[in-house]
Amino acid sequence: MTTVHTYKTEQDNHTMSRNVHLHDEDIESDVKDTTLIETQGVPDHDDEAVTMPPNLRALTEEERNAMEKAIVRKADMVIMPVIGLLYILNYVDRQNLASAKLQGIMEDLNMTTQQFATAISILFVGYLPLQLPSNLLISRLSRPGLYICSAALIWGSISAATAAVNSYGALLAIRIILGGVEAVFFPGAIYLLSAWYTKNELGKRIGGLYLAQQVGNAFGGLFAAACLKMDGLHGIRGWRWLFIIEGVATVGVAALSAFVLPEYPYNARLLKPLERELAVYRLEREAGAAEGSENVGTWQGFKSCLADPKVYIFIFCNMMSQCQGSIANFFPTIVKTLGYNSTNTLLLTAPPFVFAAGFYMGMTWLSDKRNTIYPIIMGCIGLAIITYAIPMATTNIGVRYAAMILMPCSSVGPQLMLYKAINHHMPRPLAKRAATIAMMNAIGGTSNIWASYLWFKGPRYYAAFSTLIASAVVFAITITAYRFFVRHQNKLLDSQEPEKVKKAIKFGVTQQQVEMGWRYEGF
């Protein structure tokens, strides 16, 4: 189920669409997420004129379809490149420290291996807890794009300032602050995309976002190798140049993006007035016409999130997936075990992430085409277990690097499917969706903290890889149990017996969804 977008009526020369803002006032009569509400009649799916704005009724179906394609095309040409570029810089700035390890930062700041692990993990002390309040806030803003770009400008400045640190304590302080500001981006970006794309469009766009992540990882390694050549230029160490150049680049891109990135469909300057109406309507049509008048506040949406047990299953699954994804924090260290010098090691980190980018696009395309989620998650988990077992079993360079090429895509791939599953399985209201995305990413991301201390005693890294295998197995068991759960919920909904339907409603399904024939998909 795609994110629900709610709007209040605006009148201007072009009959603007409903406003996306949510308000706290008088919400009690609109929120019925956990109780059976009185049936008002089943909507007639063939009679779209009931909820279709008058301006759209004058168009033929072919004209509306053509206009809808134009809306998606415009969003793809503007939103995706901007969000993708910001995510590349987000990941580059966050992963700089892993590359700096190969360029002398540990020696310059007199850090031990354990202290370096702390410097890596402490970023999440600021990053994780601030995601939830940030995403609750963004659901209240009329300009989420400006909010995201402002955060990018600030974290770019902080990243550049890392070049000035001269002590381990100063590095820890700046990493905490950096994490806090970067907390805005990822859950905010997912939220913004869900405000533009339907559920069958969103999977590929989330895949595109992760593609940018992997490009950031690949570009980060290549750029770090180039900065290594600048070591000593103007008396500045190579790792300091790394933070300076990439931080300044982020500031520049963020400032320009603030003038380009659109906000919500109803107030997007890149759309014509009639396109705005259709962009709003097509999302309301998918979510249910009655939801177009919901008036749900931030706190109520958050409480609705806490009351849905599916949220906790997603959080735990993401925790297991994030544990596996923590290899990105130490990937240059893993590749270093092949025995090459620092420059070649950084260059060798790029191909696995480039491969992962293509893998994600193929995976999300298949998921959208087949409307499937669970089989893809299980396939990634199986592949991941193999890639973790190989480095423990052999020191053969070719075999180990082959496994390393597959590590990023197999370890992070399930996360894409989890975010897609949220948009399929989390019902309205909008604030609930925003809170769910933030909680899943924030709490699930705690795995990055303790997983940072597993990477010792290379080249086989028994502690790290065996833990990743264990987390993959637990993930597989949990997501399989969830599959049986949602299939049982679908049977309750299919029964059309009031008592059984009431049981399904207790797990976050609304009466309006029941009337529309909504079902859990992808599993």
Secondary structure letter of residue 522 according to DSSP: B
CA pair distance 257, 495, nearest whole angstrom: 50
The reported pLDDT for the residue numbered 162 is 93
Mean pLDDT of 261-270: 85
The reported pLDDT for the residue numbered 286 is 66
Q: What is the pLDDT of residues 138-147, one digit of tens each?
A: 877 888 889 9
Dihedral of CA atoms 200, 205, 210, 215 in degrees, nearest 10, equals 150
pLDDT interval class at 294 (50, 70, 90): very low
Mean pLDDT of 248-263: 92
pLDDT interval class at 456 (50, 70, 90): confident
Query: What pTM does this model have?
Result: 0.69
Closest residue by Cα to residue 461 from 406, 398, 415, 403: 403
The pair of structure tokens assigned to 186 is 């990822």
Closest residue by Cα to residue 450 from 468, 469, 477, 472: 468
The most confident of 125-139, 160-174, 411-425, by mean pLDDT: 160-174
Mean pLDDT of 356-363: 86
CA pair distance 82, 89, nearest whole angstrom: 11
pLDDT interval class at 287 (50, 70, 90): low
Identify the residue with better confidence: 97 or 438.
Answer: 97
Closest residue by Cα to residue 441 from 224, 226, 127: 127
pLDDT interval class at 22 (50, 70, 90): very low
Mean pLDDT of 431-450: 80
Q: Is the dihedral of CA 204, 206, 212, 218 positive or negative?
A: negative
The reported pLDDT for the residue numbered 6 is 38
As a whole number, the mean pLDDT across the chain is: 81
Tell me how many helices (H) and strands (E) the chain has: 24, 0
CA pair distance 382, 472, nearest whole angstrom: 8
The pair of structure tokens assigned to 334 is 């893993």
Percentage of residues of the chain with pLDDT beyond 70:
87
The reported pLDDT for the residue numbered 317 is 95
**In this model, does residue 10 exceed pLDDT 70?**
no
The reported pLDDT for the residue numbered 509 is 78
Secondary structure of 40-84 in the HEC alphabet?
CCCCCCCCHHHCCCHHHHCCCHHHHHHHHHHHHHHHHHHHHHHHH
The pair of structure tokens assigned to 231 is 């070591």
The reported pLDDT for the residue numbered 475 is 97
Cα angle: 260, vertex 152, 197; to 5 degrees = 55
Q: What is the pLDDT of residues 393-425, one digit of tens each?
A: 999 999 999 999 999 889 888 988 998 888 778
The pair of structure tokens assigned to 14 is 């072009």
**In this model, does residue 285 exceed pLDDT 50?**
yes
Percentage of residues of the chain with pLDDT beyond 90:
32
Mean pLDDT of 342-354: 86
CA pair distance 188, 199, nearest whole angstrom: 17
The reported pLDDT for the residue numbered 38 is 37
Cα angle: 360, vertex 397, 231; to 5 degrees = 80
SS3 372: strand
The reported pLDDT for the residue numbered 297 is 61
Q: What is the pLDDT of residues 33-86, one digit of tens each?
A: 433 333 333 344 444 433 677 888 888 888 988 999 999 999 999 999 999 899
CA pair distance 391, 388, nearest whole angstrom: 6
